[in-house]
């Protein structure tokens, strides 16, 4: 029996944003592997075994999926958002590279999803309408010095910036330092979007100038997008609605 590993993105939260391709993969799976809250989004059914696991065990989770596939299972490894963006696709391929040669013959595919960065940008308008970069602010897997260097260089290059994992209970000071770097490097009042729990009932969108951004405005459910110097705001006519934020497609010559 030939097994497979499909690495699938479940999107930012709303079931309507799960792609038909991913839905079809889940319908045919024998096993679903992933972080506890993501596996909880998959409906139980006959013939399907769910394998939830805790955070920070990505490599163990990947090996488990590959071992089951080698035994003939049709495994779906689930991530939120897109599995190739700070998620499980890289972990699975790290395990393949370090694992038995037989794993390289498995049918392994990545099924894209709508990542939090794109969902947040769509809610705000089009802040990523020109050149942009994405930076994971967690220092769990890389040193803070590297994060700070990338922040400074991205600001110097005048990218719009999308930040994943801005602030957690275990590392609340990281985003404090990130804002300090950005204020020093940018030196202007470009807009900052705090997009929390996008596409869920808890969704909240807040837009503030960079000097007014505060660490407590973000948590681990928040996507933070900082505009470039060219990013613009369009005020809404309806009271209480945040402005439209967009970055023009061109730069004056």
Residue by residue, pLDDT tens for the chain (253 residues) are 579 999 999 999 999 999 999 999 999 999 999 999 999 999 999 999 999 999 889 999 999 999 999 999 999 999 999 999 999 999 999 999 999 999 999 999 999 999 999 999 999 999 999 999 999 999 989 999 999 999 999 999 999 999 999 988 777 788 999 999 999 999 899 999 999 999 999 999 999 999 999 999 999 899 999 999 999 999 988 777 889 999 999 988 8
Q: What is the pLDDT of residue 5?
A: 98
Q: Residue 231: which residues within 8 A CB-CB, separation 6 or more?
A: 127, 160, 190, 191, 245, 246, 247
Q: What is the pLDDT of residue 15?
A: 94
Sign of CA dihedral 166, 200, 12, 31: positive
Sign of CA dihedral 28, 33, 38, 42: positive
Distance CA 5, CA 225 (A): 33
Q: What is the pLDDT of residue 237?
A: 82
Distance CA 169, CA 188 (A): 29
Q: What is the pLDDT of residue 1?
A: 59
Please name which of 88, 113, 81, 112 lies closest in space to residue 195, comparing C-alpha atoms: 81
Helices of type H across the chain = 20-28, 36-39, 58-70, 88-98, 116-124, 144-156, 173-186
Strands 49-53 vs 74-79: parallel, antiparallel or unpaired: unpaired
Please name which of 41, 40, 33, 21 lies closest in space to residue 76, comparing C-alpha atoms: 33
65, 69, 156, 183, 243 from 108: Cα distances, Å: 11, 9, 39, 43, 42
Q: What is the pLDDT of residue 194?
A: 98
Q: What is the pLDDT of residue 170?
A: 76
Please name which of 115, 88, 134 lies closest in space to residue 12, comparing C-alpha atoms: 115
């Amino acid at each position: 029996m030939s097994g497979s590993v499909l690495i699938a993105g479940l999107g930012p939260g709303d079931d309507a944003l799960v792609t038909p391709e991913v839905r079809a993969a889940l319908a045919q799976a024998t096993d679903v592997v992933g972080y506890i809250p993501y596996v909880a989004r998959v409906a139980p059914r006959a013939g399907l075994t769910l394998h939830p696991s805790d955070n920070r065990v990505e490599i163990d989770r990947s090996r488990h999926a590959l071992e089951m596939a080698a035994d003939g299972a049709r495994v779906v490894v689930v991530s939120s958002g897109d599995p190739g963006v700070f998620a499980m696709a890289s972990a699975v391929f790290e395990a393949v590279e370090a694992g038995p040669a037989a794993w390289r013959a498995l049918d392994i595919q990545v099924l894209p999803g709508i990542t939090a960065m794109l969902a947040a940008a769509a809610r705000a308008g089009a802040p990523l309408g020109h050149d942009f970069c994405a930076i994971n602010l967690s220092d769990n897997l890389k040193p803070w010095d590297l994060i700070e260097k990338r922040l400074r260089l991205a600001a110097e290059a005048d990218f719009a910036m999308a930040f994943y994992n801005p602030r957690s209970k275990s590392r609340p000071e990281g985003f404090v330092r990130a804002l300090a770097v950005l204020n020093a490097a940018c030196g202007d009042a470009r807009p900052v979007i705090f997009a929390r729990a996008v596409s869920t009932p808890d969704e909240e969108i807040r837009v503030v100038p960079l000097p007014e951004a505060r660490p407590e405005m973000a948590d681990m459910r928040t996507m933070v997008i900082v505009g470039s110097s060219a990013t613009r705001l369009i005020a809404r006519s309806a009271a209480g609605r945040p402005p439209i934020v967009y970055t023009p497609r061109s730069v004056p010559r």
